[in-house]
């Protein structure tokens, strides 16, 4: 029996290493999902090349070509819908998602953040943790809601901040964990094991 794979749409603005880890996990059969489209707000995002290397449709939308954020997001939304996207994964997407894009994907849009939320939301979570002097940093996968880095948490991994860490070395170790955590969380969703209950995400342990 072949079960239908969860159809993923990835939004990325940059280098796309998280995208790569998701593609690889899907191709390896570790995640019962398929990246069906990659969308970027940056024409030259390396994430787009990564997608094309795997024959995944990849598109960029330039905010400046649209009169309003609403029109910009409506175009992206159409692209996601046209490709049959069921779950939207933000992977280094550097814009705040507005209502136009979020509402049709309420409870079906997730994000990865390089800090242990609710600590250090916003830009450069790793740098914020390092500058603050935190002893433990990490990463979080969470549902997207209308506030930044705020929705219910699906999974987190802690990363120790070492005495001799620089922002770069810390960032690198966090990124390694991101590449494991994101596919793992997507697989839980693909398996239907994830249920949102208010602020809480319940993960069923049944196989
Ligand atoms: C990651 O650290 C992610 O947590 C953050 O932006 C970075 C994106 O890296 N939101 P990449 O584009 O996936 O390589």
Q: Check 54, 83, 113, 179 and give the catalytic one.
A: 113
Residue found by looking up tokens 């079906």 in the block? 108
Domain boundaries, the chain: 6-200
For residue 206, the model assigns a pLDDT of 75
Q: How far is the CA of 206 from the centre of ligand 1 (A)?
A: 31
- Give the bridge partners for 10, in sequence order: 38, 89
Mutate to test the pocket of ligand 1, among 112, 172, 179 (most ligand atoms within 8 A of CB): 112
**CB neighbour list of residue 101: distance below 8 Å, 6 or more residues apart:** 73, 76, 77, 88, 109
Predicted local confidence at residue 1, as pLDDT:
55
- Are 104 and 30 in contact by the 8 Å Cβ rule? The answer is no
Q: Looking at ligand 1, which atom is closest to the CA of residue 171?
A: 2
Q: Is 83 a catalytic residue?
A: no
- Claim: this prediction has a pTM higher than 0.75: yes
**What is the pLDDT, as a whole number, of residue 207?**
65
Q: What is the pLDDT of residue 182?
A: 98
Question: DSSP assignment of 94-118, as one string?
Answer: -S---HHHHGGGTTSEEEEESS-TT
pLDDT in tens, 101-156: 999 999 999 999 999 999 999 999 999 999 999 999 999 999 999 999 999 999 99
- 90 Cα–ligand 1 center, Å: 9
Report the nearest-CA residue for atom 3 of ligand 1.
92
Contact status, residue 96 vs residue 76, Cβ threshold 8 Å: no
Residue nearest to atom 1 of ligand 1 (CA): 92
Q: Of all helices (H) and strands (E), which one includes residue 195?
A: strand 194-197
The stretches in the chain having pLDDT less than 70 are 1-2, 207
Ligand 1 neighbourhood includes 14 CB (under 6 angstroms): yes
Strands 136-143 and 153-160: antiparallel
CA distances from 72 to 15, 41, 68, 95 (A): 22, 9, 6, 12
Pick the CATH number of 6-200 from 3.40.50.170, 3.40.50.850, 3.30.499.10, 3.40.50.2300: 3.40.50.170
At residue 3, the pLDDT reads 72
Distance, in Å, from the CA atom of 142 to the CA atom of 112, rounded to the nearest integer, reads: 7
149 lines ligand 1 (CB under 6 A): no
DSSP string, 130-186: HHHT-SEEEEEEEE--SSTT-SPEEEEEEEEPPTT--HHHHHHHHHHHHHHHHHHHH
Instruction: Give the pLDDT score at 195.
Output: 98
pLDDT score of 2: 59
CB 180 within 8 A of CB 156: no
CA 174 to ligand 1: nearest atom: 2
């Amino acid at each position: 029996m072949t079960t239908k794979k969860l159809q993923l749409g990835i939004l990325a603005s940059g280098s796309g290493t998280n995208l790569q880890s998701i593609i690889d996990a899907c191709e390896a059969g570790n995640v019962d999902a398929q990246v069906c489209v990659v969308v970027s707000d940056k024409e030259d995002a390396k994430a787009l090349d990564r997608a094309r290397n795997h024959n995944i449709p990849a598109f960029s939308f330039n905010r400046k070509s649209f009169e309003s954020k609403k029109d910009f997001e409506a175009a992206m939304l159409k692209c996601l819908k046209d490709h049959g996207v069921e779950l939207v994964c933000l992977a280094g997407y550097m814009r705040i998602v507005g209502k136009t894009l979020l509402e049709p994907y309420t409870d079906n849009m997730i994000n990865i953040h390089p800090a242990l939320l609710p600590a250090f939301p916003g830009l450069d979570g790793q740098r914020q943790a390092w500058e603050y002097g935190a002893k433990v940093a990490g990463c979080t996968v969470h549902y997207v809601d209308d506030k930044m880095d705020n929705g219910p948490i699906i999974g987190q991994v802690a990363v120790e901040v070492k005495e001799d860490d620089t922002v770069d070395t810390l960032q690198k170790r966090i990124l390694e964990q991101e590449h494991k955590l994101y596919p793992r969380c997507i697989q839980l969703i693909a398996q239907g094991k994830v249920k949102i209950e208010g602020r809480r995400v319940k993960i069923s342990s049944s196989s």
